[in-house]
Structure 1
Amino acid sequence: MAFKAAAIQMCSGVDPEKNAADVARLVREAAAHGATYIQTPEMTGFLQRDRKAMRAVLRDEAGDIIVSTARSLASELGIHLHIGSTAIAVDGGKIANRAFLFAPSGRQICTYDKIHMFDVDLDNGESWRESSAYEPGSEARVAGLPFGKLGFAICYDVRFPQLFRSEALAGAEILTVPAAFTRQTGEAHWEILLRARAIENGAFVIAAAQGGVHEDGRETFGHSMIVDPWGKVLASAGGTGEGVVLADIDIAAVAAARGKIPNLKNAREFSLDAVPDAAGEVAA
């Protein structure tokens, strides 16, 4: 089955209401170009490094403006709308980095909570500790949709190929990586990681991204991208600012790629033998 997909690039600020208005405008633009599956980036609702200020605008699912806006848009436009993620208040005082998928009826199909926390120390003093505020997810997810099976991930998840392999083995034909990649890591790894996940699983990859300098001072890499199962970049955005990336998706290309290189079928179980360290040995 063929359909048109869109990846929405944003530069979300600290005000959820403004970001919701931007989502509505950009999603309508994508739908006007014929997109029936539309994905927004990680942290669509707001990007805010100040944790106190963040909690002041944080809401649960029932009260979140991005969730209500997305539900209405999906129904109004008759599309599948995938909110790449937004911050949601959960029990225990923590936050979920949660994706939402809505049907053309406006029904919420499912959610996915980011599994891998971005706890890193980069060059030039850039440091992040997502686990200090966010509750990691523990469940991978594949949703069966009219046009194909969709596997979920968020941003840092892209560095864990076992997640994508498990979804591909469960039938996922489209893998998703909405993100807010830092400029530093994006310049080094963004495209190659997306193309690798597509190639090794014989699947489409759709990755809507944040791009630009945000109100809270962070800088994200942008370059929202759609990649085919052979690793070809079908469409890509620039590095800064908002935009809509569109591509025609023919799900038959998944079976074709997996037929040429059936690595999902050819994988074998194996054991690992860790040879004792021989570094101290001296030749006779």
Structure 2
Amino acid sequence: MRVALIQMPVTADKAENIKTACEKLREAAASGADIAVLPEMFCCPYQNDCFRAYGEEANGPSQAALSALAAETEMYIVGGSLPELADGNVYNTSYVYGRRGELLAKHRKAHLFDIDVAGGQCFKESDTLSPGNAVTTFGTEFGTMGLCICFDLRFEELARCMCLRGAKCIFVPAAFNMTTGPAHWELLFRQRAVDNQCFTVGVSPARDETAGYVAYGNSIAVDPWGTVLCRAGAEKTTLYADLDLSRLDDVRRQLPILSARRTDLYEVREK
């Protein structure tokens, strides 16, 4: 299963961002990608004062473009994320489209990025965004895949729930910053891959030092043994990861962690 990790620049021009995404998706299809992944907030600056202004209701312009590209290229598209407007709220939402352009899944970021690191990054998504409440997986001819967004990856229970549903790979559109990225980016993707004996794929915007929020970049793919298959730097680029899904069976047979889970130890009992 060939995956394209599209680490694209994100500007203040929404139409230009959509155009860039479409160009990169066509290039990915021409390079044999089965699944292409865009970054978190691929069409919108990562700023609270932009989320509602750049937001879209159902079947908005970004969604329509991704659906059309999926049908045109006959490629799965994990559409990064964008601000979704619904019921008066704004959600950080990722849309997944199938080879015919059909909507396969929609994930609203469940764990909002509210942090205040001493001497580092301070950001509160909850000032503008509302949280989702779902574990998200979707089916392909390669098997079940999982989907979450950025800060969601820090919560091991969510990843485990996806894998217990059968997810072979967890796709994570993300935008870690220059505080959390160097500290935790690779660590978290390797950790979730080893914990759940699955592939993990994280895709970030390219780094723009002039932006209000500076993304770390470093888009990454990791195998079930915790081996980094590919990793970008800060620049705009597209990486290709060829995932041998039989690797899951090999690793799970050698280290039968999932099948050896003692569920009786983890039951919640009322006192």
Same fold (TM over 0.5): yes
Match of 1:257 among 225, 248, 251: 251
Cα root mean square deviation, aligned: 1.6
1:49 aligned onto 2:69: no
Q: Is the 8 A contact 1:14 1:48 kept in 2?
A: no
Give 3-state SS (helix, strand or coil) of 1:56's partner.
coil
Match of 1:67 among 32, 40, 63: 63
Match of 2:227 among 209, 229, 232: 232
Q: Is the 8 A contact 2:51 2:90 kept in 1?
A: no
Give 3-state SS (helix, strand or coil) of 1:99's partner.
strand
Q: Measure, in 2, the Cα distance between the counterparts of 1:7 and 1:78.
A: 17
> Structure 1 residues 271 and 72 mapped into 2: Cα distance closer, same or farther (>3 Å)?
closer
Match of 1:136 among 119, 131, 134: 131
Q: Which moved more, 1:117-126 or 1:243-252?
A: 117-126
Q: CA deviation at 1:214?
A: 6.2
**Identity across matched positions, percent:** 33
Match of 1:247 among 235, 238, 241: 241
Q: Measure, in 1, the Cα distance between the counterparts of 2:120 and 2:226.
A: 33
Q: Is the 8 A contact 1:117 1:156 kept in 2?
A: yes
Give 3-state SS (helix, strand or coil) of 2:152's partner.
helix
Q: CA deviation at 1:177?
A: 1.3
Give 3-state SS (helix, strand or coil) of 1:211's partner.
coil
Q: Measure, in 2, the Cα distance between the counterparts of 1:173 and 1:12.
A: 29
2:121 corresponding residue in structure 1: 126
Q: Measure, in 2, the Cα distance between the counterparts of 1:42 and 1:262.
A: 33
> Structure 1 residues 181 and 105 mapped into 2: Cα distance closer, same or farther (>3 Å)?
same
Give 3-state SS (helix, strand or coil) of 1:206's partner.
strand
TM-score, structure 2 as length reference: 0.93
Q: CA deviation at 1:58?
A: 2.1
Match of 1:106 among 101, 107, 110: 101
Aligned residue pair count: 266
Give 3-state SS (helix, strand or coil) of 1:71's partner.
helix
Q: Is the 8 A contact 1:180 1:211 kept in 2?
A: no
Gapped regions of structure 1 (runs ≥ 5): 273-284
Alignment of 1:93-242 (within 5 A): 94-124=89-119, 126-213=121-208, 216-238=211-233, 240-242=234-236
Q: Is the 8 A contact 1:47 1:214 kept in 2?
A: no
Q: CA deviation at 1:48?
A: 4.4
Choose 1 or 2 for highest CA Rg.
1
1:5 aligned onto 2:3: yes
Superposition misfits of 4+ residues, deviation over 4 angstroms: none
Q: CA deviation at 1:34?
A: 0.8
